[in-house]
Amino acid sequence: MKISVVGTGYVGLVTGVTLSEIGHQVICLDVDTLKIKMLRNGQSPIYEPGLEDLLRKNINDGNIWFTSSSTQAFADSEVIFIAVGTPANHDGTANLFYLEQAVIEIAKNIKKRQIIVTKSTVPVGTNQYIKKLIEKYTTVEFDIVSNPEFLREGSAIYDMFHGDRIVIGSELDEAAAIIGQLYKPLKIPIYKTDIRSAEMIKYASNAFLATKISFINEIANLCDKVGANVEAVSYGMGLDQRIGNQFLQAGIGYGGSCFPKDTKALVQLAGNVKHEFELLKAVIDVNNKQQMLLVEKVKKRITSLLHKNIAVLGLSFKPNTDDMREAASLVIIEELVKQGATVIAYDPVAIDEAKKYLPTEVVYAKSIETAIIDADVVLILTEWEEIKSFNLHQYKALMKKAVIFDGRNCYSLPEAERAGVEYYSVGRPLVMKQTIDEASLSPIYSDKKDTTAS
C-alpha cells in the first residue's frame, strides 16, 4: 500500500520505518525541515536501538521518503497515519493543537477517498471530532480508524514486530479490514472494535501499568519499614498468573511521554463526565512522591548536602532512550542543586537532551569513572546496562566513601556486600560497611543489628 505518516517523532518514525520494512511505500511528513533533512540523510533525530539501521536500509531500498510538503505527502496515498504529539496541558488534559493542525492539512490536500488512521494517543471522542473537522474543509469522502500504539521507548522496533496485539477501532468493517490487511505481514493478533473503545483501550492499558508500578513502589516503601525484601515479594506475587511479573520492579517511579501524560488525561476525562477516578489519582500521587525517595534517603544519611560531590548515573527516564520527559532525574537533580550539592552527571546517550532541562550548575562527565571520582555519594537513576554491569569495586576505589543510593535496584545485595560498599536500594535491606568513620555521616538504619544481605 501507499502510506503517508504525519509526524516523525517516536511513534511516527518507528511506524513509518516498520511499515516500509514489511513492503509498503511510505512517505513521512513533518513541518520541521531540519528534521526532514536529517532523515533524508539516514540520520534519526531520536535515539532508538535499531531504528537508524532500519531507516537507512529502507531509504536505500526506495521504500521510504521524507517531505515537508503536504501536497506531496498526500497526493497518492491510500492510508494516512496521524502520529503527532498530544502533550499534556497544565490541567492534565491532552493538548490537541498539533493534531488539529495535521487534520486541517490533510483535509485541505486529499483529492481522493482515503483512510485516515489516528495513531496519536487521544481522549475518547477525539476521532469523532476529527471527522467533523475534516468535513469543514473538504467534500472528499474518507474513513476514520483509531489504531492506538503500544510501543515502549527503548524497544519500539521490537514491539512493532512482536507486539501482543494490534487494536483497530472503526465503525466501518471495510476500513477496519483494509488496515488489518496492512498489518498482516507482522503476524500479530488483531482486535477489531468500535472507535471509542479503541481510544479507551490505550488509556486504560497505560493507567493499569502505571497502577502496578505505583503499587509495587508502595509495597517497597512498606518493605523498608518492616524489614522485608521487595524483590522476594514481587517475585512471589508474579508467580500468580492472575498478577504476572511485569511492571512489578520497585524503583523511583515511572516517567516518559506516556504514563504521566495518559494517567492525568484519564483523570481529566473522568472528571469531564463527573466521575472521580480516586484510584488513578492515588497512583499519580504515589509516583510523584516516589521520585523524591532517594533524595530523602540521602538527606537522612548526610547531615548536609552543601558542597557535597554527588554523582548521578543515568538521566533519561528509562534505558535505551534519550527521552527526558518526566524523568525522575529532573526533580531529583533540581533538589540536589537547591540543597547546595555539586552534581556530576553521566548518561550513555541522553546528556545533550538533558542539558535542555537540567540546572546550568550541573557538571557532565564522559564516563562512569570520571563521574564518581572523589564523589561523596552516588545516585543511580536509570538502569542502563552499562551502569548495571559496572564493577562495584570501582566505586570503592574511586569515591571518597563508597556510599551508593540505587533507585533502580541494579545490583544484587550479595554483590554489594562482597564489594564492601554501603548500598541503599528500594524496598530491600541496607548493605553497610562494618565501620563508618566520617563524623558528618550517620547510617539511616544504624539501630539495626543485622544490616547485610542474607
Point out the residues that are catalytic.
258
Is 35 flagged in the annotation as binding?
Answer: yes
Is 249 flagged in the annotation as binding?
Answer: yes
Is 30 flagged in the annotation as binding?
Answer: yes
Is 325 flagged in the annotation as binding?
Answer: yes
Per-residue 3-state assignment (H helix, E strand, C coil) for the chain? CEEEEECCCHHHHHHHHHHHHCCCEEEEECCCHHHHHHHHCCCCCCCCCCHHHHHHHHHHCCCEEEECCHHHHHCCCCEEEECCCCCECCCCCECCHHHHHHHHHHHHHCCCCEEEEECCCCCCCHHHHHHHHHHHHCCCCEEEEECCCCCCCCCHHHHHHHCCCEEEECCCHHHHHHHHHHHHHHCCCEEEECHHHHHHHHHHHHHHHHHHHHHHHHHHHHHHHHCCCHHHHHHHHHCCCCCCCCCCCCCCCCCCCCHHHHHHHHHHHHHHCCCCCHHHHHHHHHHHHHCCHHHHHHHHHECCCCCCEEEEECCCCCCCCCCCCCCHHHHHHHHHHHCCCEEEEECCCCHHHHCCCCCCCCEECCCHHHHHCCCCEEEECCCCHHHHCCCHHHHHHHCCCCEEEECCCCCCHHHHHHHCCEEECCCCCCECCCCCCCCCECCCCCCCCCCCCC
Is 225 flagged in the annotation as binding?
Answer: no
* 200 CB-contact burial (10 Å; exposed 0-12 / middle 13-18 / buried 19+): buried
Is 300 flagged in the annotation as binding?
Answer: no
Is 356 flagged in the annotation as binding?
Answer: no
* Sheet-wide strand order for 403-406: 363-364, 342-346, 309-313, 377-380, 403-406, 422-424
Is 150 flagged in the annotation as binding?
Answer: yes
Contacts 24+ apart (CB under 8 A), 267-275: 267/92, 268/91, 268/92, 268/93, 269/123, 269/124, 269/203
Is 250 flagged in the annotation as binding?
Answer: yes
> How many CB atoms are located within 10 Å of the residue 59 CB?
18
Is 149 flagged in the annotation as binding?
Answer: no
* 127 CB-contact burial (10 Å; exposed 0-12 / middle 13-18 / buried 19+): buried
387 φ, ψ (degrees, to nearest 5): -75, -45
**Binding site membership for substrate: which residues?**
150-153, 202, 247-251, 255, 318
**Binding site membership: which residues?**
30, 35, 86, 121, 150-153, 202, 247-251, 255, 261, 318, 325
**Binding site membership for NAD(+): which residues?**
30, 35, 86, 121, 153, 261, 325
